[in-house]
Amino acid sequence: MAEPGKAAVPTVQVDNERTRVTEWRFAPGAATGWHRHDYDYVVVPMTPGRLKLVDAEGKASFAELTPGVSYFKQAGVEHDVFNPNEGEFVFVEIEFK
């Protein structure tokens, strides 16, 4: 889990009947907190680096991300996302309602 005071900061940019677009900013060591994705979504990395993903069984994996190289996930994903980098990590998440 994230250290106290180390929560990732979401900024919702668009939220309408079809789509939600959120910018996520992670300070070093910050995390989203445990959550489940209710919608299909695309993540667009804005900075290079890796993210630590912890699944429902507590298993950790790492994703190496490149700015502008997007990926798609289907609804139902449950995880916590951490920034293990020494600097800030930023991505934009686009959810399809």
Nearest of 9, 10, 8 to residue 82 by alpha carbon: 8
Could you tell me if 18 and 96 are in contact, meaning their C-beta atoms sit under 8 angstroms apart?
Answer: yes
CA distance 53 to 11: 21
Burial label, 26 (beta-carbon count in 10 A; 0-12, 13-18, 19+): buried
What pLDDT was estimated at residue 36? Answer: 96
Q: Where are the domains of the chain?
A: 9-96
pTM for the whole structure: 0.92
pLDDT band at 50 (very low <50, low <70, confident <90, very high): very high
Q: Which CATH number fits domain 9-96: 1.10.3480.10, 1.10.10.10, 2.60.120.10, 3.40.449.10?
A: 2.60.120.10
Q: Which residues of 40-49 are buried (b: 16+ CB within 10 A; e: fewer)?
A: ebebbbebeb
